[in-house]
Amino acid sequence: MKTYLECIPCFMQQAYRTARIATDDEKKIKEVLTVVGEMIKSIPMENTPPETGNIIYQKIREITEIHDPYKEIKKANIKEALSLYPELKQKVMKSADPLLTAIRIAIAGNVIDLGVNKNFNIVDDLKTILKQDFAIFDYEAFKNQLNNAKSILYLGDNAGESVFDKILIEELGKPVTYAVREIPVINDCIIDDAIASGLDKVAKLISSGSTAPATILSLCNENFIEKFNNADLVISKGQGNYEGLSQVKRSVFFMLKAKCPVIANNLNVKENDIVLKSINLN
């Protein structure tokens, strides 16, 4: 997905929020805002937003000298998600369609996104999303591809959401590789977060190599690219991964909640809609 003009104030807002979490030093926060402001002229609008995000979050790390500003927040989100895990497992087990309920839960986890949302209430969002109609619902195609799949590549998004991903992975019944970011960026899941979420028990964990808040193939490592090209089924969670991969050539199933107007417009859905969208179906 290309960058829209509306993304630019959002970059500034994200830069402010992350710098504020990283440091109390007002001079450093002003420097972050100054540097992002000076970048605007040269932002390539044909690039995806997380490619610019990659540069912005790198600048924030350099200026604040804080490698992982969301570390404690991620821990707290994983802890909260783990506390909900037993109840959610019950919901899946009692469901008439356990796979679909697990998909809904995995999408509900996607609200734990500190790039877009300042505030969210995971318990409230779960209630809504467990009942909400899908705006795009390529479920039959998903089940078909899942039935025929021998290998699944699952692209993680945020820490905390990762616990809800575990619930879905447990319903897939196939070998899953779960890919995370190479380094901390916003509250995205890295290897340590995936392990803290218990994902090492149900999937092979790999780093995509991406330092952006998204799967950007040009930033990914060889091992990931090999898996991405050859997996029978690719599940992509969240907005960032959609932004990065919406134009790729292979079949991908996107699961996300449209949390900003730009993504909603791009998908031709409304803000807060939930989506199970297939591209390049064979």
* Positions that interact with its own copies (CB under 8 A): 5-6, 8-9, 12-13, 15-16, 20, 26, 29-30, 33-34, 36-41, 45
Nearer to its own copies by Cβ, of 39 and 130: the residue is 39
Amino acid in the structure at residue 18:
T
Nearer to its own copies by Cβ, of 19 and 129: the residue is 19
Cα distance between residue 177 and residue 38, in whole Å: 39
Amino acid in the structure at residue 213:
P
Nearer to its own copies by Cβ, of 55 and 199: the residue is 55
Quote the least distance from Cβ 19 to its own copies, whole Å.
8
Cα distance between residue 88 and residue 74, in whole Å: 20
Token reading at 154 = 């699952």
Long-range pairs for 32-40 at CB < 8 Å and ≥24 separation?
32/59, 32/60, 32/63, 32/64, 35/59, 35/63, 36/11, 36/12, 37/12, 40/8
Q: Which residues pair with 255 in a beta bridge?
A: 237, 276
Quote the least distance from Cβ 36 to its own copies, whole Å.
7
Quote the least distance from Cβ 114 to its own copies, whole Å.
15
Quote the least distance from Cβ 52 to its own copies, whole Å.
13
- Between the alpha carbon of residue 182 and those of residues 59, 192, 212, 214, the distances in Å are 17, 11, 9, 11
Question: At a CB cut-off of 8 Å and minimum separation 6, what does 260 contact?
Answer: 10, 116, 239, 271
Nearer to its own copies by Cβ, of 41 and 131: the residue is 41
Quote the least distance from Cβ 41 to its own copies, whole Å.
4
Q: What angle do CA 192, 194, 197 make, to 5 degrees?
A: 110
CA 5 to chain centre: 22
Quote the least distance from Cβ 24 to its own copies, whole Å.
11
